[in-house]
Homo-oligomer: A and B are copies of this chain.
């Protein structure tokens, strides 16, 4: 058995059996190993950002890592943007990056580059000097690292940069999985302090493990007892929501809206969350958005067991165990007329199948969040890191992780173009993904942000950099070129009919909403 096969067999034995691949010459022994180990499913994408985004979506749903398989520095480079999102989401993920043998590096051949530097940008664990005899156990270290609770923003991305001779040399055998890490417990004194501190002017801010169903139930029990507010950060990686789920406010994106939402809060309890800050900096606006007179208490960090801590606080204050706030079920109505973002959001909520997974991105889709919280139970995967082009790839990973659930990818026209190759993999794998593109033919967010500079009229040369009308992109034709059928919708009726058609049949489908 060579190193490559020992790695694949060890990963499979440890429960890692999904590989999002775009290999090159230096990964051919890893391809050969995939061929020899049928328990490892390999899914081809035609661009590495699709591989990494798919691995992110998969890891968020499974809570166990998929691997990528990428070609040297440029292959990793193409995957960086969606790895950035995965890092911010704390997604467990293992990158397998091929490299030349280390003895070949000194010749500085065309594809040689400092892959370690690239990997450090997105990884909390990197190893680049495996040998054929260490590769299997290095893979098990990568798995352990990928399952270690996030340290700050360190994420849970483990990157194994594999010299080709570690693949083709003789292995020591299959390696066993290492002990799986567990979240550390929150100190008893902090539990006590938080319990006595929470009052009706308190906001408990949830993120990460603090957004588990059990954690949200505990937080809402605390709210019943104290009258405090329970909120989540603006872009949490995953929210299991919809009717019946514990209710939870979501903090808004723009700083002035966020500050308004914080008004009257005199105590902020952070549960796996960072204190609110401005997503971007602006000339006359603060970065740190906690009001001056607000006390901040950290209940738990990303690596701690927040669920257990919130439960302990709720129990310690003898909060009631029933009657906490949950999302009510309601069938929303579309007011007004014409096809717009708000109308689409309501139609999505109205027709959403039970247990659908909704993958967000930049550009319109976020409007569906609120209406879908009163729809049938569903899961949202958000654009946690702000690197657009996540939704289509994440939908691939989510669909492969949960083949019994319908996946919706809600994409802006601009965002969808960064990773349009996602359509091809959706077609190849026959995935139940409904992609909805909110096509307003511009980078709408940039136009908004530009106007925030205080410029009242956008000059032609600036406007050209936000404009996607010259030429207009025909997304139905684009998807069709890669094997995904679709329809354009210009009216509510057309949209509703296209959505119901897609939801009634298996396989991928595109709806281009022309706004």
A residues near B (Cβ < 8 Å) are: 21, 23-26, 28-29, 31-32, 34-36, 38, 42, 44, 46-47, 49, 73-75, 77-81, 83-85, 87-88, 100-101, 103-104, 107-114, 117-118, 120-122, 152-153, 164-165, 168, 235, 274, 277-281, 283, 287-288, 384-387, 389, 414, 417-418, 420-421, 424, 427-428, 445-446, 449-450, 452-453, 455, 458-462, 464-465, 467-468, 470-475, 477-478, 480-483
User: CB-CB < 8 A to A108: which residues of B?
Assistant: 152-153, 274
- Assess the A113–B121 pair: CB atoms within 8 A: yes
Do A77 and B74 contact each other (CB < 8 Å), given the known contacts A47-B417, A121-B117? Answer: no
- Are A475 and B481 touching (Cβ within 8 A)? yes
User: B446 to A23, Cβ gap below 8 A?
Assistant: yes
Q: Considering only CB atoms, which chain B residue lies closest to A89 in the complex?
A: B110
> Is A481 touching B483 in the complex (CB atoms < 8 A)?
no
Instruction: Establish whether residues A477 and B481, one from each chain, have CB atoms under 8 Å apart when the complex forms.
Output: yes
> Given the complex, which residues of B lie within 8 Å of A280, measured CB to CB?
25-26, 100, 109, 111, 164
B80 touches A74 (CB 8 A): yes
The answer to whether A121 and B77 have CB atoms under 8 Å apart is yes
Give Cα A42–Cα B462 distance, bound, in whole angstroms: 9
Q: Which residues of B contact A414 (CB under 8 A)?
A: 46
Verify B77–A81 contact, CB threshold 8 A. Answer: yes
Inside 8 A of A88's CB, which chain B residues have their CB?
Answer: 110
Q: In the bound complex, how far is the Cα of B472 from the Cα of A120, in angstroms?
A: 37
A307 CB, min distance to chain B CBs, angstroms: 23
Q: List 14 A-B contacts (CB under 8 A).
A: A24-B446, A28-B449, A29-B453, A31-B450, A32-B450, A42-B461, A46-B417, A77-B84, A77-B387, A104-B281, A417-B424, A474-B481, A477-B477, A477-B480
Query: What copy number does this chain have within its complex?
Result: 2
Scoring A81, A114, A168, A414 by chain B CB atoms within 10 A of each residue's CB, the highest score goes to A81
Residues of B within 8 A of A420 (CB): 420-421
- A462 in complex: contacting residue of B31, B46, B455, CB < 8 Å: B31
On whether the beta carbons of A110 and B386 are closer than 8 Å, the reply is yes
> Which of chain B's residues has its CB closest to A167's CB?
B283
Question: Which of A28, A85, A118, A449 neighbours the largest number of chain B CB atoms within 10 Å of its CB?
Answer: A28
CA distance A75 to B387 in the complex (A): 8
- Among B80, B278, B461, B481, the residue within 8 A (CB) of A77 is B80
Asked if residues A107 and B153 are in contact (CB atoms below 8 Å), the reply is no
13 further A-B contacts with Cβ under 8 Å, apart from A110-B279, A111-B279, are: A32-B462, A46-B417, A75-B81, A77-B80, A77-B83, A100-B281, A107-B278, A107-B288, A108-B274, A113-B122, A417-B421, A418-B421, A475-B481
Which of the residues B26, B74, B475 comes within 8 Å of A385, measured between beta carbons? Answer: B74
Return chain B residues, CB-CB under 8 Å to A277.
107, 109
- Cα–Cα distance between A478 and B450 once the two chains are bound (Å): 32
Check B283–A165 contact: CB distance below 8 A.
yes
Are B427 and A471 in contact, CB atoms less than 8 angstroms apart?
yes
Query: A32 is contacted by which of B281, B287, B453, B464 (Cβ under 8 Å)?
Result: B453
Q: In whole Å, how far is A311's beta carbon from the nearest beta carbon of chain B?
A: 28
| Nearest B residue to A49, CB-CB | B78
The reply to whether B470 and A481 form a contact with Cβ atoms under 8 Å apart is no
In the complex, the answer to whether A478 meets B471 with C-beta atoms within 8 Å is no
- Chain B residues within 8 Å of A235, by CB: 110
A418 and B111 in contact, given A462-B32, A478-B481, A481-B474 (Cβ under 8 angstroms) = no
Among B114, B279, B453, B465, the residue within 8 A (CB) of A121 is: B114
Give complex CA distance A198, B395 in Å: 62
**Beta-carbon nearest neighbor of A275 in chain B:** B107
Cα distance A180–B281 in the bound complex, in angstroms: 36
Which residues of chain B come closer than 8 Å to A389, judged between CB atoms?
78
Contact B480 A109 (CB under 8 A): no
CA A34 to CA B464, docked complex, whole Å: 11
State in angstroms the CA–CA spacing of A168 and B284 once bound together: 11
With A74-B385, A81-B77 known as contacts, the answer to whether A31 contacts B465 (CB < 8 A) is: yes
Inter-subunit contact A281/B165 (CB<8 Å): yes
Return A461 CB to nearest CB of chain B, in Å.
5
Residues of B within 8 Å of A47, CB to CB, are 417-418
Q: How far is the CB of A234 from chain B (nearest CB, A)?
A: 8
CA distance in complex: A196, B146 (Å): 61
- Nearest residue (CB) in B for A153 is B108
